[in-house]
Structure 1
Amino acid sequence: MSNRDINIHIKRKKLRHRKKIINLITFSLISILSITIGFKKILSFKIRLANITSKNRFIPTSSKNVPLDSADVFTICIDAGHGDWDFGTIGLNDSAEKDIVLSITIKLGELLESQGIDVVYTRTTDTLFWSDNSTENLYERVNISKDSGADLFISIHCNSSDESHSYKGIETWYNNDDDESNLFATLIQNELSNLEYTSDRGTKYYSEDEPLAVLNNNDVPSVLIELGFLSNLSDESFLTSANGQSLSAEAIFNGILTYKDTLN
């Protein structure tokens, strides 16, 4: 083999070696990038949950009641449960669930609107604009949320028990198949339970045997809040008071802003 052939052979060998190194480096970079992206997704979700302790208590990481930037404006659909011919549960002192939740809904909506958040209501009066069919009643509320393009859905209710007047407390329901609704429910529940006017019954998810239509049929993070038992004198007293209704609206409002912060 001549010196010229030897030099060509060496050059080709070096070129093949260089290509192998380039391919190895490229593969390594792609692998690192893939792992990094996956890690960032996991880390992002963990960060959003990092301030929720084992007792479901949320420690806010930023101040609340601060107007949102215009780029962050989103739409919330608030559903005041029942209404019109549907009174909901009736309290020990004849309070009507439909009236309590409507009052709190309006107060909540005003707080949200003051921060530049678009609010859509399923009702703002005691009049329902659909039939008295219970199934249609629920689906119309969902349709309002869907048609508005809402980013979040909140249905506000009061609870009751025929078994005992001692039953009391707040609970927030969500769709178990949706992590965002789970997080949203947790933050709302934490804010309400921090008011300490009643027991903290925690977050709950509906079962397939007993689905909650307004949650099951919604396409966005959705929660249903039970603010307390009107069959319990203490809960009813708080929820029928002007101060209690204002505090409840503010707590839900703060939970919404905290959830919004986790999206940034």
Structure 2
Amino acid sequence: TDSKKGVLRKKKNLLVAGKGKQMPIHYGSLEHHFVTISSPLANEMPQAVGSAYAFKRAKSGRVVIVYYGDGAASEGDAHAAYGFAGTLKCPVVFFCRNNGYAISTPTSEQYGGDGIASMGPPHAINAIRVDGNDFFAVYNVTKAAREMALQNQPVMIEAMTYRAGHHSTSDDSSLYRSREEVMTWKTKENPITRFRTYLVDKGWWKEDDESKWQKEARKEVLESFNAAEKLQKLHPREMFEEVYKKKPLSLQRQQRQLDEHLERYAEHYPMEHFGKLPHKSE
């Protein structure tokens, strides 16, 4: 799909509004009402509550759902969001994916109480804890939470799950957890494995179907990757554009330094491999 291709073109994509300025998975979609993800932990939580409050005042009949992790739940912005949501009765669903670790910090070092769900009631927020690896449980709970939120009753969902992979390419999770622990979750409690078992038991999924789907998916991804590789790189100056309506003096100075650097070391920067110079703004 176009959305998948857009993600793969991260650094070189001249076609999407983000132009590679965000991190790899920080995409958004106006069409699907999906707001661009923020890097700072819990940053999007007060924003979600604010949006929900605006929807409430406009009587739009819309609900906001915000996803975050157990690490973000320890941030001040999270508790500020809970406070506003509860007192203003906002149509918002807080969905916490409690996967056991905030990078390398285990939940045992993040809170002393009974998890994240217990943080809801003190703020007049209904809360429920669910098996985050159970597809149907998550679906049904989220559907029910939406119905509550439509009545201007904020809801908190704590989905108990596990991060089987590393936090990022800079993280080596073997330094703080055992391989046996990871493999148990990967093989027995993996939500994909569990859902696949259910479909096979119902006769709705076969090995041949899975093999065919995997080949088709791999083909689509590689085609998108190859197409992205052939695109021109964005002009280096693009990093300064479309952030401020009027660039502050500090950015203007940095931009001049970049231009001087590119000119001085032109042999190392074959500009024919880059896109056109963006509109110059000061």
Normalised by the length of structure 1, the TM-score is 0.22
Flag the structure with more relative contact order, 1 or 2, with Cα contacts below 8 A and sequence separation at least 6. 1
Normalised by the length of structure 2, the TM-score is 0.21
